[in-house]
Amino acid sequence: MNFRGKNIRLHVYLAHAGVSSRRAAEEIISQGRVTVNGTAVTGQGYKVNDGDVVLLDGKSVLPESRSLYLVLNKPQGYICSSHDPQGRPLALDLLSSQYKERLYSVGRLDFLSCGLILFTNDGAFASLLVHPASGIEKEYFVEAAGPISDAAVEAFINGITIEGVQYKAKTAERTGRKTMRITLIEGKNREIRRVFSHFHLHPNILRRVRIGPVVLGGLQEGKARPLTEKEIADFRASPHSPIQSSQKRSNTW
């Protein structure tokens, strides 16, 4: 995106530079991690002009020359973060050899979960994709350590409140004595694990197999690919399409 001659809000600038989503960029600014022309900026209304020097944690931040939209088949044992104080492997490490742009995950998969996760450097895309109003389905395959009870299945279907938080799947189907397929819309933090734990179950495998029109298919574990034109068209058909909102930008698929 060309910023020449424009006054761009700092959080928008950071998002287009592939630092994070716009909402996350606001938090980064409030933490005092960003400087413009040598001065720390913590206010959300600050605007960036062409020629300004923007640093994040002391490192230069420039708008990306192309927008990327990728899907990764994340293995277990990788964390969806830009860094980890515990030194655990990052899902980003699986992309760094092929893509040099700043990338960040759209949503998360926890350390022990595996399967589909989207990465981008388009902040507008990321913000709209994770918004509950987008209505984008996320489907999971779960294999438990023990038999899954009728009560657990019914809890996902009818809804259950655990420690004051309401959990409810869009669809839930037991596919075997120890296996289920679960579709979520909102996808609250560790929702499936919390419900399973409530029924004294442990997921040996928790794999996300679909995000909206994007399916796991034959994508190898640890590998990534760009979204296809068909997937882009299907996202565009959504009334809250993140792709549609981003299509005015110069995109590389």
Domain boundaries, the chain: 8-60, 69-133+213-246, 137-211
pLDDT tens for residues 49-78?
A: 888 899 999 988 877 667 788 999 999 999
pLDDT given at position 239: 57
Same fold, 8-60 and 69-133+213-246: no
Q: Tell me whether strands 203-211 and 114-120 are parallel, antiparallel or unpaired.
A: parallel
CATH architecture of 69-133+213-246: 2-Layer Sandwich (3.30)
pLDDT given at position 249: 43
pLDDT higher at 246 or 47 = 47
pLDDT higher at 250 or 155 = 155
pTM across the whole model: 0.75
| Cα angle 51-122-98, degrees, rounded to a multiple of 5 | 95
Mean pLDDT of 24-35: 91
Residues 6+ apart with CB under 8 A from 21: 15, 104, 106, 123, 126, 127, 130
Checking if the pLDDT of 200 tops 50, the result is yes
| Cα angle 39-46-249, degrees, rounded to a multiple of 5 | 115
68's tokens: 């990327």
Clarify whether 52 is annotated catalytic: no
CA dist., res. 114 & res. 103, Å (int) = 19
CATH of domain 8-60: 3.10.290.10
The residue annotated as part of the active site, out of 57, 84, 110, 234, is 110
Question: Which helix (H) or strand (E) element contains residue 15?
Answer: helix 10-16
pLDDT given at position 246: 46
Class of the domain covering 137-211: alpha beta
Q: Tell me whether strands 165-167 and 104-106 are parallel, antiparallel or unpaired.
A: unpaired
pLDDT tens for residues 101-157?
A: 888 888 889 999 999 999 988 777 777 777 767 788 999 999 999 999 999 999 999
